[in-house]
């Protein structure tokens, strides 16, 4: 029993939204793996967001984030997202964390859906743009969390690979640059979600996120209108 107590204590210490979201990610990804293992050529439009079918499965605009389509993607997601999400759930509370997840997952998927349909209208390539892409995973949520970290601890330094030191505020643009490169190399799905996730999360945090002050009476404000969190602040000084 002592052997089991430590993992159980750790699981119980994880905030409820993060715990449920992580468990749902593991379950949904495992289901996807099983379906593809039994039928390797099958699309799974009721789990992933396929632009040509997603109007028939509208829940996938939100739930496709729970599906990672490879073991490597799942491992990376489990290493970075739960810890980050847990930090903000303790900071923001349950309700605001749920709203953040829904906005930062659904918004980029809706934009990607519209973008693919525009590409289809322009090219008439049904096979590629309507049925050839399965949007999935938590790349949009991850960059949204990086944007949130930039808002609350922009000057904090983190170590990458044990020896690369970088300020938190530099991470979103580095990830965005990675997304741009991957998209230009033809990997639009799912990497373009990073770009959409960055923009949606900034808009939400800048203008709409509900904040309650610690002062007596708990004054409610929305967004972050500070000069350090403007749209231009993301770019190098010579571009501002």
216: in domain:
no
Each residue's pLDDT expressed in tens, for the chain with a length of 240 residues: 444 456 667 677 889 999 999 999 999 999 999 999 998 777 789 999 999 999 999 999 999 999 999 999 999 999 999 999 999 999 999 999 999 999 999 999 999 999 999 999 999 999 999 999 999 999 999 999 999 999 999 888 887 766 778 889 899 999 999 999 999 999 999 999 999 999 999 999 999 999 876 554 667 889 998 888 988 888 766 565
CATH code of the domain covering residue 63: 1.20.1540.10
CA 162 to chain centroid? 24
Residue 7 maps to a domain = no
In a domain, 4, yes or no: no
What's the pLDDT score for residue 228? 86
Question: Is 95 a domain residue?
Answer: yes
Residue 121 lies in a domain: yes
* pLDDT (0 to 100) of residue 1: 45
Q: Is residue 9 part of a domain?
A: no
Instruction: Determine the pLDDT at residue 190.
Output: 93
Number of domains in the chain: 1
User: What per-residue confidence (pLDDT) applies to 2?
Assistant: 43
| CA gap 139, 157 in Å, rounded | 22
Query: Whole-angstrom Cα distance, residue 142 to residue 77?
Result: 8
Task: Specify the 3-state DSSP secondary structure of 152.
Answer: helix
How far is Cα 54 from Cα 9, in angstroms, rounded to an integer? 39
Nearest to 206, CA basis, from 158, 165, 163, 150 = 150
Q: Do 130 and 120 form a contact (C-beta atoms < 8 A)?
A: yes
Residues 36, 119, 173: CA angle, nearest 5 degrees:
80
Gap between the terminal Cα atoms of the chain: 59
With vertex at residue 139, the alpha carbon angle to CA 163 and CA 90, rounded to the nearest 5 degrees, is: 80
Domain region containing 59: 15-210+222-239
Has residue 3 been placed in a domain? no
Closest CA to 229 of 114, 160, 149, 158: 149
């Amino acid at each position: 029993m002592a052997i089991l107590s430590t993992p159980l204590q750790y699981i119980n210490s994880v905030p409820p939204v993060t715990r449920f979201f992580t468990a749902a990610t593991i379950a949904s990804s495992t289901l996807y793996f099983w379906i593809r293992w039994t039928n390797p050529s099958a699309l799974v439009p009721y789990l992933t967001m396929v632009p040509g079918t997603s109007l028939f499965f509208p829940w996938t605009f939100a739930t496709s984030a729970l599906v990672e389509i490879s073991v490597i993607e799942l491992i990376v997601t489990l290493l970075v997202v739960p810890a980050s999400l847990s930090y903000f759930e303790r900071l923001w509370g349950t309700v605001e964390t749920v709203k953040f997840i829904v906005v930062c997952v659904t918004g980029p998927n809706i934009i990607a859906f519209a973008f693919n349909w525009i590409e289809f209208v322009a090219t008439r390539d049904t096979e590629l743009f309507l049925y050839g892409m399965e949007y999935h995973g938590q790349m949009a949520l991850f960059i949204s969390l990086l944007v949130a970290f930039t808002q609350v601890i922009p000057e904090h330094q983190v170590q990458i690979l044990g020896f690369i030191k970088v300020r938190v505020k530099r991470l979103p643009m580095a990830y965005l640059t990675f997304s741009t490169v991957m998209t230009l190399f033809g990997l639009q799905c799912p990497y373009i979600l990073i770009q959409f996730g960055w923009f949606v999360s900034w808009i939400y945090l800048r203008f709409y996120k509900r904040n309650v002050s610690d002062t007596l009476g708990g004054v409610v404000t929305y967004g972050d209108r500070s000069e350090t969190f403007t749209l231009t602040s993301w770019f190098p000084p010579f571009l501002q």
